Amino acid sequence: MSASTVDGEPAISVVIPAYESRLRIGPALQGLQEQDVAEPFEVIVAASGGDGLAEHLGAAHPKVRVIDSEVRLLPGAARNRGWAAARAPFVAFLADDCVPEAGWLRLRLARHRDGFDAVGGAIANGTPRSPVGSAGHYLEYSALLPSPRLLAEQVVPHALSYRRSLLEQLGGFPEDIRTGEDTILNKRLLAAGASVGFEPRAVFAHRNPTRLRDFLAHQHQHGRGLVRVIREHGLKSPIGRLDGPAAGAWWRGLAVYPAARWWQALSRVARGAPGRLPAYVLLSPLIWLGLWATGAGALSARRAASPSHAS
């Protein structure tokens, strides 16, 4: 059964990693149905969890290919299952809580055909009426506002689509971490000399947590995941040495690191979207709560992995 939205071999494949996503994935699929690209494309959902997503998609979205796993797939493993099954020469990834704008695929495909191995787009706020959701958006995606300048300034680019042969060359995403799998792969991409183009009009909207408790839990988990990526994949630590004195770690995790990230995001908004500065300032108390939650998560993961705690 073809996964293409129209007949023919797909020009680009879209992979959606989906863990227990039955209640989340609908808007993402609707956004893909509304793409204005004239060429065929396919949608592949790499599903895991016990919520019956595969059966639901088989009935409600028969053109979507589903790769179902009884075992939970972490994001890297789900991405790898998806792109390995892709038939198109280019592969884009869409989270199950994101909604692409109509030109998302068309604009990406055009940039790939300009010769770029990878194409980076922008991320919009999918919860603009929620103060908590908007704070989360600025906290996580200030480098991915729809600004050509900001996108080009990324040290490691994100929100990428890829030439499929490049994914084969790089060996895919790491499968042992809950967060940061794209950062690790994209660092390897840069080291390999792959060409990256940016298209700020290729936008998807991320639906952020809107309840304070969920927001803080999400950021705490990000902090824990950050430490794991630092330890296991050599990512540069923004919170200082993981094996240093505890007092210094607390100072960096709950003061230096949050202050640096708050200022970096403020500076990005000022450069790329100055009209949003008042909103950023008004949301800063919530942003700081999220940053403290991230720092606390990193500190708890650091403590749990320390030899003294393990003994």
Of the candidates 177, 206, 235, which is a domain's last residue? 206
H-only helix segments in the chain? 26-33, 53-60, 75-85, 104-113, 131-141, 148-153, 164-170, 181-191, 212-233, 246-251, 257-272, 277-282, 284-305, 307-310
Residue 194 and residue 82 share a domain: yes
Is residue 249's pLDDT more than 80? yes
Prediction pTM value: 0.92
- Tally of domains in the chain: 2
| Same-domain pairing of 188 and 232 | no
Binned at pLDDT 50, 70 and 90, residue 45 comes out as very high
pLDDT at residue 306 in the model: 59
pLDDT at 117 over 60: yes
| Domain termination site, one of 191, 206, 221 | 206
Range of the domain at 193: 12-206
Report pLDDT digits (tens) over 269-279: 999 999 999 99
2 band by pLDDT with thresholds 50, 70 and 90: very low
Average pLDDT in the 1-30 region? 83
CATH code where residue 120 lies: 3.90.550.10
Q: Give the largest CA-CA distance in the chain.
A: 62
**115 shares a domain with 179:** yes
What is the rounded average pLDDT of the residues 279-305?
A: 93
Tell me the per-residue pLDDT of 61-71, one tens digit each, with 9 for 90 and over: 999 999 999 89
Percentage of the residues of the chain whose pLDDT score is greater than 70: 94
Under 8 Å between Cβ of 265 and 287:
yes
Output the pLDDT for position 248: 83
Q: Which of 206, 232, 256 is the last residue of a domain?
A: 206
| Strand 98-100, strand 41-48: pairing | unpaired
